[in-house]
Chains A and B, each alone.
Chain A
Amino acid sequence: MLARPELENVALSQVRSISYPAADRSLIPGYLTLPPGREDARGLPAVILPRGGPSARDEWGFDWLAQYLAHQGYAVLQANYRGSAGYGDNWLRQNGFQGWRTSIGDITAGARWLAQQGIADPNRLAILGWSYGGYAALQAGATEPGLFKAIVAIAPVTDLQQAKDDFADYTNASNVAEFIGSGPHVVEGSPLRHADAIVAPVLLFHGDHDLNVRVIHSQRMDAALRAAGHQSELTVFPGLEHDLADSTARAQMLGRIGAFLDANLRRQ
């Protein structure tokens, strides 16, 4: 059965179900993907890959993003942090925006666990995410500067007030506003408002036809990081939506991510 000739003779990684302790000792379920043929390796460079949503979950199975990163030599950790759906009310809680401290805390605890296990080199950790995952990557960079040496955010939410304003002209504006909520977390939980704290180099990608998370989120983030004197690079894909469903664009993005991680994690 030769279903995908491009992948013939390309070793792909096995995905292992794991769990690790959060700061409050809650066990966070997740998936670990190691570079093919290097399952016993220690001190690997690693990428924390928080999924989008926030009210969704990762599942065991084929994941092209995780497989690409593992193939490039990185250990990849995907966690179903608190705020994820699928585990009932006690796990979903308020949601990953209103309960961002718990969600982001669970995600960064995964990075520490990978290092404590000896699987990852604590000095060669990166974080990469799409949509809410991109938000989480940036926010983790703001709350724990120094933990990650590189940050990649694809179509990220960067400002919670902006996310509410984006839907002002739509019939679901009130529902979106209630979901994100009001209060101090709208500023505290927005990476755009903490650009000065994000010291790791940032790589941003966004489609300019994205109606889920507007391209302005990445444009403002990129400008704020540069204004703070930090390293940031934004690629805008013309005509593409939130999922960047275009093989050429995705291949270009993966190539750039590979080079960016290589530059910031490998050569130290």
Chain B
Amino acid sequence: MSRSYVPEAGRTGTRISHTSDGIGVDRIDVRTLRATRVEAPNPNASFYMSDGRGVVRIMATRAMRGATGQLSATVDFKYRADGSERWQTLGSWNTQTSAGLYPLAVDHDLDAVYVLQKLNGRLALYRIKLDGSMASELVYANEHVDVDDVVRSSRGLRVIGVTFAEAERRTVYFDQDYAALARNLAHAIPNLPLIDFGSASADGNRILVHAGSDSDPPLLCLRPRHPPSERDHARPARA
């Protein structure tokens, strides 16, 4: 969890005041709410990204315009190779021109990060290895529109696909199980073509599905991923 540190001000007559400044990362024990520090606060940090298994792999920092106190239009990204503490340069992103690369998600199993990067003037999805080689491959590009995000689900928020909006929003699933599930759901509920997988139980057997259309605001329902057992039946829930 990100923690924002704000230095204490206005305390006079004491040298005991908090001077930490910036954004760091804490690990929270959800049973006791006890926090332990994972990343020390960095005054230039904008956000961090983990591998979905509790290891921080990406740090975004905002560059300043000299000593003006003004933010520049550039966000810089650094990464850590697996098992390393050392930050290495991943790339940067211009918030005004969208030039450069923008990380979306770290895939733990592939030891790679998915990034947005332009191809022929449109944002495409690339995958860059985080093993130090910076080996980059094009994962998906669309001839008409920008790719805008990856789709994640299951434990560790695995990357299961890529999404973009043509006349209607579409998702291309890399994960064949989810691809088949999306096809089956589209047949089962033909009037709600906008299907999203919201989340999944830890064992991956129950999935939260978001289904909607132009004339029907999205509904949430809990769906067993496999044929239902006696107590494990689909039921609608309020969105």
Contacts and interface: CB of A to CB of B under 8 A. Distances in A.
Partners in one complex: yes
Contacts of A87: 122, 144-146
Interface string B211-239: 01111111101000000000000001011
A1 interface: yes
Residue in B69, B122, B214 with the greatest tally of chain A CB atoms within 10 Å: B214
Interface in A164-219: 171-175, 178-179
Contact of A17 (B95, B145, B168, B194): B168
Contacts of A86: 145-146, 148, 165
B146 A85 contact: yes
Contact of B214 (A4, A15, A57): A15
Contacts, number: 86
Contacts of A4: 217, 239
Given A86-B145, A88-B121, A88-B122, A57 B165 contact: yes
11 contacts: A3-B239, A4-B239, A12-B215, A17-B167, A60-B169, A60-B214, A61-B194, A61-B214, A86-B148, A175-B72, A175-B73
Contacts of B219: 1, 3
Given A3-B236, A13-B214, A171-B71, A88 B167 contact: no
B71 A62 contact: no
Interface residues of B, number: 35
Interface string B66-100: 00111111000000000000000000000110000
B169 A178 contact: no
B65 interface: yes
On chain A, which size bracket covers the interface?
20 to 34
A60 B71 contact: no
Contacts of B194: 61
B27 interface: no
A179 B218 CA distance: 35
A243 interface: no
Given A62-B212, A86-B148, 18 more contacts: A3-B217, A4-B217, A7-B217, A14-B214, A15-B215, A17-B168, A29-B167, A59-B169, A60-B168, A60-B214, A61-B213, A62-B213, A62-B214, A62-B215, A67-B215, A87-B122, A89-B122, A171-B70
A27 B218 CA distance: 30
Majority-rule SS of A interface residues: loop
Interface in A73-95: 85-90
A61 B121 contact: no
A62 B167 CA distance: 14
B146 A90 contact: no
Interface of A: 1, 3-4, 7, 12-15, 17, 29, 33, 57, 59-62, 64, 67, 85-90, 171-175, 178-179
B140 to A, nearest CB: 15
B118 interface: yes
A61 B169 contact: yes
Contact of B216 (A59, A62, A90, A179): A62
A33 B214 CA distance: 9
A64 B217 CA distance: 9
Contacts of B70: 171-175
A87 B143 CA distance: 9
A90 B73 CA distance: 21
A253 B118 CA distance: 41
B96 A179 contact: yes
A12 B192 CA distance: 14
Nearest to A7: B217
Nearest to A64: B217
